Amino acid sequence: MAKITQADIEDAARDPLKYFSHDSHAAEDTKCRRLLRRCGMEGYGRWWRLCELLAAEEGHHLSVADMEDEELLAESLFFDGPYELEGFLDTLTDCGLILMPGDGFISAQLVTDASLYFGKKRASGGKGGSNRGNKGV
């Protein structure tokens, strides 16, 4: 059996996820507690909706490169417009929940970690490893 490389895992991790873990104690994480303090349950729900959107995208990042991208994402998160979205994204960045490196895309470490977990399972399955019972693969 061929050895699975990190490149194999990262390549397999780019595919959209059908599933990712939402731990039952996620709200107790310091980053989420900060979000809850600042944005309440509505913001917390929007955070998890954003994670779903990121998980469903190839490469697990979303474009906010132009006004139309921002308007589309604002609609998906049930904001009235892109200005509310910008404030929310700033809060998520400040809380450490998302990365906005300035290249016009956002990502979340939580989704990246989930994609790498399932990417390893996908890569193992493609190289002869067992893939039985793995959700999201």
Percent of the chain clearing pLDDT 70 (strictly above): 91
In terms of residue numbers, what domain contains 10? 6-16+42-125
Q: Is residue 34 part of a domain?
A: no
Structure tokens at 19: 């599933």
Q: Is residue 30 part of a domain?
A: no
Q: Is residue 22 part of a domain?
A: no
Q: Is residue 29 part of a domain?
A: no
Indicate the SS3 state at residue 107: strand
Which pLDDT does position 82 carry in this prediction? 92
Which pLDDT does position 126 carry in this prediction? 56
pTM, two decimals, is: 0.83
Q: Is residue 113 part of a domain?
A: yes
Here the CATH number for the domain that contains residue 81 is 1.10.10
pLDDT(128) > 60? no
- Weakest mean pLDDT among 18-22, 48-52, 79-83, 115-119: 18-22
Q: Is residue 137 part of a domain?
A: no
Q: Is residue 130 part of a domain?
A: no
Q: What is the pLDDT of residues 57-110, one digit of tens each?
A: 999 999 999 999 999 999 999 999 899 999 999 999 999 999 998 899 999 999
Count of beta carbons in the 10 Å neighbourhood of residue 6 = 11
Q: What angle do CA 120, 123, 129 make, to 5 degrees?
A: 100
Count of beta carbons in the 10 Å neighbourhood of residue 13 = 22
Which residue in 89, 24, 23 sits closest to 53, CA to CA? 89
Which residue in 129, 113, 132, 121 sits closest to 21, CA to CA? 113
Whether 8 and 117 have beta carbons less than 8 Å apart is answered as no
Which pLDDT does position 131 carry in this prediction? 47
Q: Is residue 24 part of a domain?
A: no
pLDDT(56) > 90? yes
Number of structural domains (the chain) is 1
pLDDT(135) > 70? no
Which residue in 86, 79, 77, 87 sits closest to 46, CA to CA? 77
